[in-house]
Each structure stands twice: as C-alpha cells, then as structure tokens.
Amino acid sequence: MVYLTRKAEFSASHYYHNPEFSPEQNLRTFGKCNNPNGHGHNYTLEVTVKGAVDPKSGFVIDLKQLKEVMNREVLDALDHRFLNQEVPEFFTKIPTTENLAIAIWQRLLPKLNAASLHRVRVYETPDLFVDVYGEDAQGAA
Amino acid sequence: MKAHLTRCYIFSASHRLHSDEMSAEQNRATYGKCNNPYGHGHNYRVEVTVSGPVDPETGMVCNLVDLDGLVHREILERYDHQNLNLLPEFRQRVPTTENLCITIYEIVKRGFCKAHLEKIRIEETMMNSFEYSGEND
C-alpha cells in the first residue's frame, strides 16, 4: 500500500454563528469568529489517497486526474467564496474547519474511483489543522 | 462524523542530556554535544491532536479557547524560558524530547476532558520530531 498526498490552497471567508443561540451565547462560544461581517483565511488542503502501485503506470493514482477532481469538486466551489452564503453545506452547518474537512471529504469520496481516499487535512492557519479519515466516515451525517 | 483537530504551540527552553547512572565518558559518548555541561536550548513546537465527533450545535470537536487555556496554563507557563533540568519532573529523568513528549501527553491527558487526546508531537528542531500516543493506543 502506498499513500500519496496532493496539496492545494484556497482562500475563503466565513463566520461562526448558530441561529439557535442567543447573541450572548454566540459571542461566548465563537468569540471573534462570530463577527457577522466575516473574516478570511488562506486554507491549505492536503488530500491523501492510498492504493497499490499499478505495475503498468507506476502510479497509485494519476496525479493529473486527482488535481482535476480537487479543482472541480473543491477549489472551484470554495476558492474566493463566502462559505456561509455561497456554499450549500454551510447554509445549515457552521463552517468550522471541522465541518469544512468533512464537507471536502464528502465532495471528494464519490469522485475518486482509482484509489481510495485516506485522509483529508485542512489547515486553517499554519498552527491549526483538522484531519478526517476514512475509518471515521462510517455513518457520516 | 469524527474529526481530528491539531493545534500547534511554541515554547523555548534549555536542557542538558546527562544521566547520573553513566560515567562522564559514557555520557559524552551517548549524548555528544547535548551533554555540554552548560546546556543548550531549542524552540520546541508542540502539536496537540484531539479527536471526537463534531458537535452539531457548534461545528467543533472542542472549543479551542478551552484547549488553548489548558496548554497555556499547564505547558507554556511551566516550560517557556525555563531550564528543563531544574524542573521536578526532570530531576530523575533525562529531559530528552522523548521524555518531554510523554510528560506533556500526561499533563494534557489529565487536564483536558473536552475531547479525546490522540497524540502529542514535538519538533525539537526542523530536522527531528517525536510523537507519543499513550501506552494503549
């Protein structure tokens, strides 16, 4: 089994707000991230796939194909967007890095046939990242 | 769905690798430059990884304010700009980054109950890093 990771970057804005919370509860839970005007990050995405090396091509997956899937399914939808208002997953869910990693996992999973998706890692800043793994996807909401 | 969240922290500290159970020659042979009696220092980069289901109300595994608070109080205030050899936990144990990693794991495990502690990873320099996930993981 060989693991292959491809990186990409995108920039987006968001804010954290639960409509079921009072304004005080929102501020207490989310702090500065609750500013309704939003704020942004340069996100780094790492997509790791695993598989056997194809004896004919020497590839786990065709990198060009992986790049195209990442561009189409993730970057085109998220780059330079206001996540809360422009990305359907976040009309009802709070666009935390946790939920962002899960949404990216769910966007990529059905589109990657050649190798299996092992991990999605999303860096919100160099000091904070979230990982979602295949084994945790059982019963995904 | 479960997610793993990793937060990074930096502190600077000095240490000397030396074991009282070895002769001076043995210490020099084992620890090399790190046995310098005057000590030396590093900028340690600590990665704390916790996991758990994402809370549907907050979208979070845990509130980072809670994790930051614990790490600042129990780790950074304790170790930043200190000589590790002078701290009680390293009087009997050599302050290698392996032992530091285990010690920090135990402090976070004991003090943080809002998510499951998966792993502590420490970069001593850009060229070496250490990980500890507990005895049973």
Number of domains in chain B: 1
- Within a domain: residue B72? yes
- Within a domain: residue B137? no
Helices (H) and strands (E) in chain B, counts: 4, 5
**Domain CATH number, residue B24:** 3.30.479.10
Does A138 have pLDDT greater than 50?
no
- Within a domain: residue B67? yes
- Write out the catalytic residue numbers of A: 33, 80, 124
Per-window interface: A 33-92 vs B, CB < 8 A? none
Least confident stretch, A59-63, A68-72, A73-77, A129-133: A59-63
Kindly report, residue by residue over A78-130, the tens digit of the pLDDT.
999 999 999 999 999 999 999 999 999 999 999 987 679 999 999 999 999 99
- Within a domain: residue B71? yes
> In angstroms, what CA-CA distances link A55 with A52, A58, A61?
9, 5, 12
- Within a domain: residue B116? yes
d(CA A95, CA A103): 9
Residue B3, min C-alpha distance to chain A (Å): 5
The residue type at B110 = R
pTM above 0.95, yes or no: no
Pull the structure tokens for residue B65.
């304010």
Domain residue limits at B40 = 2-132
CB contact under 8 A, A131 and B59: no
Of the candidates B58, B61, B64, the beta carbon closest to that of A94 is on B58
Say which CATH class A2-136 falls into: alpha beta
